[in-house]
Every structure is written in structure tokens, then in C-alpha cells.
Amino acid sequence: MMKAGMQRVLGTMSGTSLDGVDAAVLVTDGVGIESFGVSAYRPYSDDERAVLRAALGLWPGDPRVEAAAEVVELAHAALLAEFAPVDLVGFHGQTLAHEPGGRGTHQAGSGQMLASALGWPVVWDFRSTDVRLGGQGAPLAPFYHHALAQYLGLEAPVVFLNLGGVANVTWCDPRIPKPEHVCLAFDCGPANAPMDDYCLTHLDRPRDEGGAMAAQGTPDEARLEAYLGHEYFRRIPPKSLDRAAPVPDVSGLSPEDALATLAAGVAMGVALAFEHFPEAPARVLVCGGGRHNATLMAMIAAGCDCPVEPVEAMGLDGDMIEAQAFAYLAARVSRGLPTSAPGTTGVATAVGGGILSQP
């Protein structure tokens, strides 16, 4: 356990969209936020992304998992070496398999390797303890969202919506000091992953830039109704998904209608999430790559009874929220503070996760 006090912590995130590695410095003591530091992004090459895709859903012991771990470790080491020395690193790794209540959860990449390569202490394997104790292991950003709400001086409940490969929500009340007492969080459905996968498979492009094609299409209401019949949407949170999330059937549709249907499915999942919030939020603040999809954002806003806006409206960097979150969580782990709670992952009691590896 490290001593209390503000630290310069470098957090990383490589999400389910497999686009690349985000890294950001946060000055924090794991309770409050003092300031935000520099950030950087390293995209995966097409070849690297292919290696990662080939390992999705696989567990340690498979050669494809070892190859993916090497890609993750080398990409992170190259990016983090560009930063000035820090007190601590929070390394999430790349989720390849996530099966709470089953085989567990697996994020490829060794924090010990990074600690040795960089010469800085590294906190990693954030999810395993939570899953081992009966939690979903996700989402893990809620405690940071609560700290952000307090940093911003918000005085009413707020929802942070992250639109990554999967969509997840955090409802929090910044008027209550401890996040473990006041956060409700869960994955509410897929987000960018199905749309990006469709574009890659059918259109030979990485994404529907800005939602331009979806804007020209019409959602298929019958298929969306069938999609919302999936049992996941009836589960009481906390709950979590991985890339094997339910997805609307868009076979046989035009690309425009398919992408419109997929976007509408994301928006419907977000709208259904409101049924679980303890109190109506004053606003929804959106982070993650999906906030750049204007069609998706308009669909989400149409289904919400409060303002929906990107976190940039509050002066934050929506591309780096998750990397900052793992910097914040690393600081908490280093001080022995909890990183998840019954309201965020469904674990029986507030627990701390993560391994601290020294150089």
C-alpha cells in the first residue's frame, strides 16, 4: 500500500472497439481529483487489430491469446514510454473473455512486464477479484464518474453514459461523499461494436463516420421489437456484457437501414436504463467514441427526458474518461480503497481489486 496524498497517475484503456490505446495522466489521491494531465492515443494497426480479433472469446493457454497479449504489451509500452515519469500506472489490458459466474474474466497483458519495461509501479488485473467474489467485474468507471461529478460541482444526480464497444451507464449523486454508497451502474446494451463490425464486414470501412449512413436509413421496427425481447433487458442491474452482447438482426437490410437499426437499438437500451435509476437525473453526460455519431446521439436524446450532451460541454475530454478512470482506480488500489460495490457490479460488499507490480 502506498502513502496517502496526491499522485501523478498514468491510466490506460484499450476497449472492446479494438481501435487503439488511450493513455492519460490524472493528479489524484484516489478520492478527489486535483487536475488533469497530458494524454495520448496510439491506434492499433490493421495487423495488430486482426491478432486481437482472432483472440476474442478465448482464454489463457491458447496461442492466439499469447499473441494478443504481446500486441497489447508492446503497444502500451511504446505509448507509455513517451510520457514523463509518473508515480503510478493503471493498466487495464485488453478484455478477451468475460464470463461472470462462469470462467471469470480475462484481460490480456502483463502489468509486471510493463512495470519492468517502464520502471514505474503498475496496478493491473482490476476485474478478477470482483468477479471471484460474485460481482460482474464491470463497469469499473463509476467511482471515477462520482469523483468527476464532485469535481464539476454538480448538485443533482447525473448519469454518465459511455458509448464504447458496449454502452454503460453510471447514475450517481455527488451530494453524497462516498461513491460506494451512491453509485448505480450497469451495461445497458451494445454501442459501437455492432455498428463498427457491420461497417468492417459489409462496407470495408472501420465505422459509419458521424452516423452519416445511419442518418439516411430507417430503423426496422419489427426487428427492434424482437431485439428488445432479449432476456438481458429484463435483468435487474447490476449486469454486464462483452462483445457477445445481443444485437438486432439486420440481415438483408440495406446498409443505411441496417446501421439505422443498430443505432436505434443502442438508443433503446439507454432509454430502458432509466427505469432502474433511483431518481431522475438532471442531465446525461456522454463519453466514448459513440458521442461523435450525430445520428446515434440524436436518437438517444429523443428517448431521454433530460438534456443529453457530450462531456466536453462540462470541459472534460470524452476520449480519455476511461483511461483517467483507471488512473483513479490505480490510486485507490494503491491506498487500499474499494473500487467496486454492490450497486456497480453486484458484488456482495465494497471491494478493492487489482495487483500492484513493482519494477
Same domain, 28 and 90: yes
Asked whether residue 127 is assigned to any structural domain, the reply reads yes
pTM of this prediction exceeds 0.85: yes
Verify that 133 and 182 share a domain, yes or no: no
Q: What does the pLDDT read at residue 138?
A: 87
Asked whether residue 145 is domain-assigned, the answer is no
Tell me: do 118 and 182 sit in the same domain: no
Is 258 in the same domain as 310? Answer: yes
Residue 260: what pLDDT?
98
Give the domain extent around 39: 7-138+320-357
Same domain, 310 and 176: yes
Identify the bridge partners of residue 172 per DSSP, sorted by sequence position.
Answer: 158
Residue 1 lies in a domain: no
Tens digit of pLDDT at every position of the chain (359 positions):
565 789 999 999 998 778 899 999 999 999 999 999 999 999 999 999 999 999 999 999 999 999 999 999 999 999 999 999 999 999 999 999 988 889 999 999 999 999 999 999 999 999 999 999 999 998 899 999 999 999 999 999 999 999 988 999 999 999 999 999 889 999 999 999 999 999 999 999 999 999 999 999 999 999 999 999 999 998 999 888 866 679 999 999 999 999 999 999 999 999 999 999 999 999 999 999 999 999 999 999 999 999 999 999 999 999 999 999 999 999 999 999 999 999 999 999 999 989 999 99
Q: Count how many Cα atoms sit within 13 Å of the Cα of residue 93 in the half-sphere of its side chain.
A: 28
Residues 192 and 273 in one domain: yes
The CATH number of the domain holding residue 115 is 3.30.420.40
* Total residue count of the chain as it appears in this document: 359
- Give the model confidence (pLDDT) of 313-348 as tens digits: 999 999 999 999 999 999 999 999 999 999 999 999
In a domain, 148, yes or no: no
Same-domain status, 309 and 328: no
pLDDT at res. 3: 59
Strands 88-90 and 122-124: parallel
| Number of domains making up the chain | 2
Regarding whether 289 and 324 lie in a shared domain, the answer is: no
- SS3 assignment for 93-123: CEEEEEECCCCEEEEECCHHHHHHHHCCCEE
Q: Tell me, what amino acid is at 251? A: S
178 lies in the same domain as 280: yes
Any domain includes 146? no
Peptide linkage before 142 cis (omega within 30 of 0): no
On whether residue 144 sits in a domain, the answer given is no
Q: What Å distances lie between residue 221 and 115, 275, 335, CA to CA?
A: 50, 21, 50
Q: What is the pLDDT of residue 239?
A: 86
Radius of gyration of the chain (CA): 19
Same domain flag for 108 and 237: no
Residue 241: what pLDDT?
A: 82
Asked if the structure places residue 215 within a domain, the reply is yes
Q: Are residues 164 and 310 in the same domain?
A: yes
Q: Let me know whether 267 and 169 are in one domain.
A: yes
In a domain, 269, yes or no: yes
